[in-house]
Structure 1
Amino acid sequence: MKLTRRIQASQRSPLLQVLKTSVATAVAWIVSGLLLPGELPVFAAIASLLVVQPSINQSFAKAIERSVGVIAGVILATLISLALGQNSWIVILAILVAVLLSWVFKMTPGTGNQVAISAMLVLALGSSSPEYALDRIIETLIGAAVGFAVNLLIVPPVLVTPVRDSIARLGNELAASLERLASAMRAPQREADLEALMIEVRLLRPMREAADAAITDGEESLTLNPRKSSHRGDLKELSEVLDRLTPVVTQVIGMTRAFRDHYDDDLHAEPTVTAIAGELTRAAHDLRLVMRPAFIEPEPMTSEFPALTAPLQISPPQSTHWVLIGSLMEDLRRIREELLIDDPD
């Protein structure tokens, strides 16, 4: 099982990505074979195979990385072969020199490995003549260009939908957390109930991190993408929604922890706590309002107006719950500032 986890991804790559990689490899092989007859176009096939990436920007970066690595490796192999002749131990020497030069010039791992692999292939499979070296460089450039073109022309990936989905999950769970906390404030709670409440609210942090990672992937997918103009506005709007949700995540986790830590069986009878529970329910409503502009088909709401129309006014608590009430009120104030940021009042 451990070996399986090391060689298998959590999910399959999109079938379209597999088809694009196959098309790019086949086209690179054919084109390179026609332009440079005589040798099997292995370098072109490998280049196109590596260049087709999940985003256009990644494809461009991989094309540069692959091309630079091959050019350096081919030149290195040619120079070593011309200087020391044709011997089996020359291959090992070329690999060692390639690794050392990659370290000296601070090359990325991908580029450094490509230098060593290219030098090894040139010495092991081909000739060391300058003509052969030049052909392999041209062949690699053809493969990289074909891979980039295929990824650019065949449905360039746009990862805005995953961003929308991740923010929707975060927003819905955040609203549900507010409602769960409000319900807990209105009735006596067992120790197990309080722990379950805390466990559920802690899920907000990884969901927030997943949404942030989705934003990064979305921005990556639009870089150099010809379809970016029609999606850039959507991604910006989603990013703004996430910026407003992030501090609310912090406040809701803090409120839940404070409620758990300072809970006692008389808490639900405190009038101010009951009032705060009502405000949390309203905050959940307003949170869903904040999310609506970012989605294509939002679910219908019973009210389109913010429920937190005014700050909650309370008298100083007359019980031992004043520490908890003060903490909840401060967190509630901060949530209100985020949710009503566009409110004219």
Structure 2
Amino acid sequence: MKKSKKNQNKSSLVWKMAIASAVSWEAAKLAGSKHPYLAPLSVILCLQSTIDQSVRFSFHRIAGTVIGIMLTSYLVSYLQMNGWMLGLLLLGGTYVAKWLRIDETVLHQVALTILLVFTFERHSKDYAMDRIIDTVIGVVIAILVHMFLFPPDYTKRAADSFQTLAHQLSDTLSDLSKWVQSEWGQGKGNIMEDKVNNLLQELHTAKEMLQTASESLKFNPIRKKHKITLARYQTEMQKMNAGYEYISNVVKTLKEWEKEGDLSSSDKRELGNDLQVLNEFFAGFKGIQLGETDNWKQKEQNVLLESLRSDMQSHPQPSQVYKDSFFLETKKLLKSL
């Protein structure tokens, strides 16, 4: 599915690049440009993976082009055309850009503009002005095409990543429950720590995917509903983060506890049941589709949490340090859910 989605995104980019380049070339010719290829050049460079990235890159390209032309166009006709002179112009122009504390992307655009103006301005006196006009034309067309022709949207991929995380978190809690109830004393601590590390990687992946999805919807005029969906996922991600922290701390506690070997049958039953309830709670997140949770599943999750909270209150005050740590971590998690 992920490979298919990537291919779909690439196909969309191919069509956008071709259409926007053709339109920008013709628009530049209509504007009187003698160098219409400069407009599609901007299109090709400015079509980034999200509209937000395209807008920022476009701004940097226009700023760098203007600064480069201002620093070069007047001097170029009086200078010899050789590598040493080009090097001096680049050094001076980019140093001015650095002194202005502008973005590094703008600095690259300044250098590119200096190179092209140095090369072509002496052969065509209209090159510098054409470059500014055609750059603006290309930028505007690239952004408009990006916004209205299959605008990038990573909401579904973010949802899939979130559900994968929920599934892995739920499975880890299930493994913890089995460890306590039936596999105690078998030295599973190191195995569980590896699972915690894998869970952390999945958590980072899901967070990054949510961030990418949020950025993909900036300046997207036709995906307002998905913005609400992603806001919901951002809220639910806090619960996932709390779940990871809980598992990480509990694994450390259980690993030390196992070394002591002191875990009664009643402790195994109580701790295992508590972990199983949390497993079922997080398993419910796998049913979320684009932010819409089944009402029955949500009620079921709430019942699970309330039952666990009641159990926490009814348990006698732990007298053993490891058991005390486990119950404190569980209560802390319940407060954040």
TM superposition score normalised by structure 1: 0.85
Distance (whole Å) between structure 2 residues aligned to residue 218 and residue 142 of structure 1 = 28
Change over 3 Å in CA distance of 1:226–1:317 after alignment to 2: closer
- State the 1:267 CA deviation: 4.2
Match of 1:211 among 197, 201, 206: 206
Q: Give the 3-state SS of the residue equivalent to 2:211 in structure 1.
A: helix
Code of the aligned partner of 1:331: E
Match of 1:253 in 2: 248
SS of aligned partner of 2:154: coil
Q: Per-residue deviation at 1:126?
A: 3.1
1:186 equivalent in structure 2: 181
The answer to whether the 8 A contact 2:232-2:291 is kept is no
Q: Residue type matched to 2:331 in 1?
A: R
Quick check: 1:272–1:314 contact (8 Å CA) kept in 2? Answer: no
Inter-CA distance 129–302: structure 2 relative to 1 (3 Å threshold): closer
Contact 1:51 1:144 in 2 (8 A): yes
- Is the 1:69–1:111 Cα contact (8 Å) retained in structure 2? yes
Long gaps (5+) in structure 1: 1-10, 340-345
> Which is further off, 182-191 or 96-105?
182-191
Give the Cα separation in 2 of the matches to 1:162 and 1:285. Answer: 24
| Alignment check: 8 A CA contact 1:43 1:139 kept | yes
Once the two structures are superposed, what CA deviation does each residue of 1:308-343 show, in whole Å capped at 9, x if it has no partner? 32133333557xxx121111111111222233xxxx
Q: 1:86 to 1:200 in 2, by over 3 A?
A: same
Give, in whole Å, the separation in 2 of the partners of 1:205 and 1:65. Answer: 36
In the alignment, which of 307, 314, 324 is matched to residue 304 of structure 2? 307
CA distance 1:273–1:330, change in 2 (3 Å):
farther
Q: Tell me, which stretches of 5 or more residues in structure 2 are unaligned?
A: 1-5
Partner of 1:87: 81
1:290, CA displacement in angstroms?
A: 5.5
Inter-CA distance 92–36: structure 2 relative to 1 (3 Å threshold): farther
| Kept in 2: contact 1:187–1:268 (CA 8 A) | no
1:79 counterpart SS class: coil
**Aligned pairs (5 A) from 1:1-345:** 14-39=10-35, 41-82=36-77, 84-88=78-82, 89-127=84-122, 131-189=126-184, 193-264=188-259, 266-289=261-284, 292=287, 295-296=291-292, 304=300, 306-308=303-305, 309=307, 310-312=310-312, 313-316=314-317, 322-339=320-337
Q: Counterpart amino acid of 1:334?
A: K
Residue 314 of structure 1 aligns with an amino acid whose one-letter code is H
Distance 1:152 1:188 in 2: 55
Distance 1:186 1:265, change over 3 A: farther
The alpha-carbon distance between structure 1 residues 324 and 218, as it changes in their structure 2 partners (threshold 3 A), is: same
CA distance in 2, matches of 1:190, 1:17: 56
Closer, same or farther: CA 172–81 of 1 in aligned 2, 3 Å: same
TM (norm. structure 2) is 0.86
Query: C-alpha deviations, 1:28-60, integer Å up to 9, x for none?
Result: 233323433533x33222211111111111111
Q: 1:220 to 1:288 in 2, by over 3 A?
A: same
Maintained 8 Å contact 2:24/2:137: yes
* Paired residues, number: 324
* Alpha-carbon distance change, 101 to 258 in structure 1, aligned in 2, over 3 angstroms: same
Which has a greater percent of helix?
2
Change (3 A) 1:223 1:301: closer
